[in-house]
Chain A
């Protein structure tokens, strides 16, 4: 245990989720009469074991809802493991969120002392570092104003300025990078570099694989409540990316069931198919086929597609009206095929497609969000929004 900072032994966590929150005695009585119906068991972690050495910068990565934050909270002692044990050597400070305990009704100064106490600093200790905290947060003129009059940026600066003072043997950091602008992120990275230089033990939960590659020594990948990979940070980071480039689950579930669907229904998309669901740099085009089927009379049909990346950003939208293609009225019971071809400008990652059909007076006949998805493997273009094939000439 001497050189270990954190030891997690066969930890499992099961949450009891009441169907309807049992906050009243009546519901408890009612549920008492019919046992096991009041709640659902949710396994958040399954048999997780970890050993983190002193001075290690350790990453925990995984999709949303995979159990990373639960693990972090169990290590921090906020949640109790259902099974297994956690041992921490030394003082541990968690940053699940910046500025915990900040009170909008108190002044900046008062909040510094309050937040300081939560980090374990006495008034005397804060007195000594007060000037530095304020200076680092660049808030000299505002400290006697109430926190509620601060902009969110100012609050984050103050909170961060407090956080970097924390004296701990083990630091837990949960996606604090998700907030703040580029300038703030730069400060965060600077802080991480200092932590690394000072050989602090850090456990870091994030979605940012660049940060994992840059700072972490080792990492684990959690998927479905279990540790599925453990190893060097770079390897884990690419395993994580693989999760998203594997064939999309919604495609497997296909073909009419995936996604969200609505619309009046006189004409519907009967089938949506891709020529290939995995594209590589060699594929120059993305080919799609939409089959429409009519159930009632229709006029002035228009159909189109939206393509989004895995972050939900619209990359482009295209429809027959914009492209000035006429879709003839469709007799009841018959089908019509519309094919699309786009240049493969997609960079490495997963994409989803929404498809829609509109009728007379712009009435929505069928709208089908996340109808199908495809994957592009182009490792060299990882992290870019699109990937163009430029013609480069060197003379």
Chain B
């Protein structure tokens, strides 16, 4: 019993310190430092805004499209950053793993928390933009934390699987890069879902947990005119599919990681 408590205490101390270090090192040597955490999404937004809103006129029919766009980008970036960071995290901490017996999951959680901190900072930018765009505060915004939790659990499941697989097969990082790129275009992030005219395709796209989460987030916090699965599917059972996928991904990722974690030190 005492050992178990000690082990959790150790994990907590370690986690805190690893996240801190990560944050300190992130903008190491840059003049603007932490300001980049806010500037990066802002600048990315400015570019996408000019390309998609001003030049291609994507979101003409959608109210508050700039905010709608930014929220999607921010959530996607979180997903992308968390999985990409976690993927290499075990191998990058190989030095520690070969010399100390630290709980392996702490490493994944620490990279995920770094990405989460970044997400929260980015959401600050979203809130500021909401105020500029005079977006009314919707009651449904209360759902947003739950939707973000869903994205986090989905990303965590993938991170656990990817990081453990990367220890054995270094191809994983390239494969994942391609998948992320493809998924970015298959998810209605930079274009509104209504751009897809075929409703069957719309429905198929909304089975993807990321598409579902991003659309739900937009619906809950930006505009009730955003298309969500609940409106699209006649049979409401289908709206549960993305959640089932998230649960499956999480449990298989967790199981794979757990069975391989013991051998990380030898295989890195």
Interface residues of A (CB under 8 A from B): 15, 22-26, 28, 73, 76-80, 91, 94, 96-97, 100-101, 103, 105-106, 110, 113-114, 116-118, 120-123
Nearest Cβ distance between residue A151 and chain B, in whole angstroms? 21
Interface size on B, residues (CB 8 A): 30
Query: CB distance B96 to A101 under 8 Å?
Result: yes
Closest 5 CB pairs of A and B: A117-B17, A77-B101, A96-B99, A23-B170, A100-B99
* Distance of A94 Cα from B265 Cα, bound (Å): 14
* Distance of A19 Cα from B187 Cα, bound (Å): 42
Query: CB distance A94 to B266 under 8 Å?
Result: no
Interface residues of B (CB under 8 A from A): 3, 6, 9-10, 13-14, 16-18, 20-21, 24-25, 28, 95-102, 168-171, 262-263, 265-266
8 A-B pairs whose Cβ atoms sit less than 8 Å apart in the complex: A23-B170, A24-B170, A24-B171, A25-B169, A91-B3, A101-B96, A110-B24, A117-B13
Nearest Cβ distance between residue A240 and chain B, in whole angstroms? 25
Measured between beta carbons, the chain B residues less than 8 angstroms from A76 are: 100-101
Measured between beta carbons, the chain B residues less than 8 angstroms from A122 are: 13
Query: CB distance A24 to B102 under 8 Å?
Result: no
Query: CB distance B100 to A105 under 8 Å?
Result: no
Nearest Cβ distance between residue B52 and chain A, in whole angstroms? 36
- Chain A contact residues, majority secondary structure: loop
Query: CB distance B265 to A78 under 8 Å?
Result: yes
CB-nearest residue of chain B to A26: B171
Measured between beta carbons, the chain B residues less than 8 angstroms from A73 are: 265
The number of A-B residue pairs with CB atoms under 8 Å apart is 77
- Given A22-B168, A97-B99, A118-B100, 16 other A-B residues pairs in contact with their CB atoms under 8 A: A24-B170, A76-B100, A78-B97, A78-B98, A78-B265, A94-B100, A94-B101, A101-B96, A103-B21, A106-B24, A114-B17, A117-B18, A118-B14, A118-B96, A118-B102, A120-B6
Measured between beta carbons, the chain A residues less than 8 angstroms from B21 are: 103, 106, 110, 114
Query: CB distance B99 to A78 under 8 Å?
Result: yes
CB-nearest residue of chain A to B97: A78
* Distance of A26 Cα from B24 Cα, bound (Å): 38
Given A23-B169, A25-B169, is A113 in contact with B98 using a C-beta cutoff of 8 Å?
no
Query: CB distance A91 to B6 under 8 Å?
Result: yes
CB-nearest residue of chain A to B28: A105
Query: CB distance B13 to A101 under 8 Å?
Result: no
